[in-house]
Amino acid sequence: MSQVLGDRQTLRRKLHFFYAPIEAQLADVERTLTEEIGSDYPAIDELLKHGFSLGGKRLRPALLLLSGKAVGSVSREHQVLAAVVEMIHTATLVHDDVLDEATLRRYRQTVNARWSNESSVLLGDYLFSHAFYLASTLDTTYGCRVIGRATNIVCEGELRQVSSRGNFDLSEEAYLSIIEAKTGELCACCCQLGAHYAGADAALVAAMARFGRDLGVAFQIADDLLDVLGDEPTTGKSLGTDLEKQKMTLPLIRLLDQVSPAERAELVEVLAGPAARAREVLSEWFARTDALSYAREVAQSLARRGVEELASLARNDATSALEAVAEFVVSRRL
């Protein structure tokens, strides 16, 4: 437990620059989440609260609030929608853990490991529907519409990813398009909502959405790199699941693009085999090619392109935090 707290504090400290400009509003979001997620039935209440504790960084609520503060000021709508996007994100995490058969997330047992896959599926559905309900308590349908559309694109992206498993011919373009839908879209949605509810005009709302999308894609590439490289004690979640699920990510795509046809055939055979062996063989290949550094550079260049979208804004602590987070997501070790 103290290990968990310790690691959470480390994470929080590392991200302090990011949360500082919106600390009070984030605390309100936290209160909203605690109030909203619960049940009169004790067994269900325990499941909901455990499931929700697996979210964590509050990156998406922070993006939404910071985008509001970067272009204007933060209102009640921002706080409601910040809770909404965190619920949506947690719902996708809970369902991802079923898909990945993961047993560990943020140093805690996943819902599927502690309860069952069935409970995980239903918990995710509960969180999705609660998020949509909460969004519908605002005065207009704008929030519902943007969130409904983004969530739908996220789901389509995930479906495409599942249907691409074991497809070792997946192109870099198709990979980027999938993660843009799967991860980029919800981050774009956060920044779009933040800017819209702070009164930004259509052009600025669109620019903020592009910032969010680039940031999200960069974040996902970095996350995929962690899955190839990282170790569980550091990241606090089940790793190596991409290899086990024969999910192609950027370093692998780059590697296969560069080798000879014979080497490619050999590598594909390894990738189609046991993950432990694949990891061993890959680490040798990664040591003598640019696959890892290439993936890192793609992520960094997307993060830079995203930051350029902020150029027209007057500088304040929120714009600095957004720039800093763009740097953080491509360099993070946690």
Closest residue by Cα to residue 228 from 140, 293, 273: 293
x/- binding map, residues 105-144, to a second copy, per CB under 8 A?
Answer: -----------xxxx-xxxxxx-xxx-xxxxxxxxxx--x
Minimum distance from CB of 174 to a second copy (Å)? 10
Query: Given the complex with a second copy, which of 246 and 258 has the nearer CB atom?
Result: 246
Q: What DSSP string runs through 144-191?
A: HHHHHHHHHHHHHHHHHHHHTTT-TT--HHHHHHHHIIIIIHHHHHHH
Minimum distance from CB of 294 to a second copy (Å)? 26
Q: Is 50 in the site for a second copy (CB under 8 A)?
A: no
Minimum distance from CB of 114 to a second copy (Å)? 13
Query: Given the complex with a second copy, which of 16 and 145 has the nearer CB atom?
Result: 145
Residue 270's alpha-carbon distances to 161, 175, 225, 238, 261, in angstroms, are: 20, 20, 19, 21, 14
Query: Given the complex with a second copy, which of 84 and 326 has the nearer CB atom?
Result: 84
- Residue 131 near residue 80 (C-beta atoms within 8 A): no
Minimum distance from CB of 245 to a second copy (Å)? 9
Q: Which one of 108, 160, 264, 332 is in contact with a second copy (CB under 8 A)?
A: 160
Q: How many CB atoms lie within 10 A of CB 283?
A: 11
Q: Which one of 98, 221, 239, 329 is in contact with a second copy (CB under 8 A)?
A: 98
Residue 109: strand pairing partners: 104
Q: Which one of 7, 14, 44, 279 is in contact with a second copy (CB under 8 A)?
A: 44
Residue 108: strand pairing partners: 105
Q: Is 34 in the site for a second copy (CB under 8 A)?
A: no
Minimum distance from CB of 273 to a second copy (Å)? 20
Residues in the chain: 334
Q: Is 324 in the site for a second copy (CB under 8 A)?
A: no
Q: Is 148 in the site for a second copy (CB under 8 A)?
A: yes
Minimum distance from CB of 45 to a second copy (Å)? 10
Minimum distance from CB of 186 to a second copy (Å)? 11
Buried b (16+ CB within 10 A) or exposed e, 189-209: bbbbbbbbbbebeeebbebbb
Q: How far apart are CA 230 and CA 218, in angstroms?
A: 17
Q: Is 77 in the site for a second copy (CB under 8 A)?
A: no
Q: How far apart are CA 148 and CA 235, in angstroms?
A: 30
Burial class (CB in 10 A: 0-12, 13-18, 19+), 239: buried
Q: Is 43 in the site for a second copy (CB under 8 A)?
A: yes
Interacting residues with a second copy (CB under 8 A): 39, 41, 43-44, 47, 91-92, 95, 98-99, 116-119, 121-126, 128-130, 132-141, 144-145, 147-149, 151-152, 154-156, 158-160, 162-163
